[in-house]
Amino acid sequence: PGNKEVEPLKFTQVAKAVCMSWQKTENCIQGTTSLLSHCLGKGENVAFVLRDVGVLLIEGKTVKMRFYYNFLERMVGKKNLEKALFKVPQLLDTVSPATPVASLTFSGRVLIFPEFELEVVPKSPLR
């Protein structure tokens, strides 16, 4: 909707930033987005793990990003993060990289980017 222009992803620039070949980078990104699109198209819940960043939880019509505290601290610095947490306590809803991703989602798929790992999480009767 609207007049939004879509700019194609520059795989060579991404590849340089992560020190990988552009072919491997393109295959990884396209494979991951294809798998994510497939899961969402089938109406599956998805926990999309962005390594070193956090977890994007997509459950039904609810989408929630849970950042790793360490990531936020690296982005803004410890003092700025403490100030932000005081003003916006919802930022405390972070997650640890050691947290089992299966515990964050009702049920569905766990996709870990940039690695191609797929895990099916059984439905929990209690949630």
Domain boundaries, the chain: 9-42, 44-115
CB-CB contact of 65 with 56 (8 Å): yes
Return the structure tokens found at 74.
Answer: 């690296």
Residue 115 pLDDT greater than 70, yes or no: no
Main-chain dihedrals φ then ψ at residue 120, nearest 5 degrees: -100, 130
pLDDT tens by residue, 24-67: 889 888 988 898 899 889 988 888 888 888 888 898 888 988 88
pTM beyond 0.85, yes or no? no
The structure tokens 């994510």 sit at 36
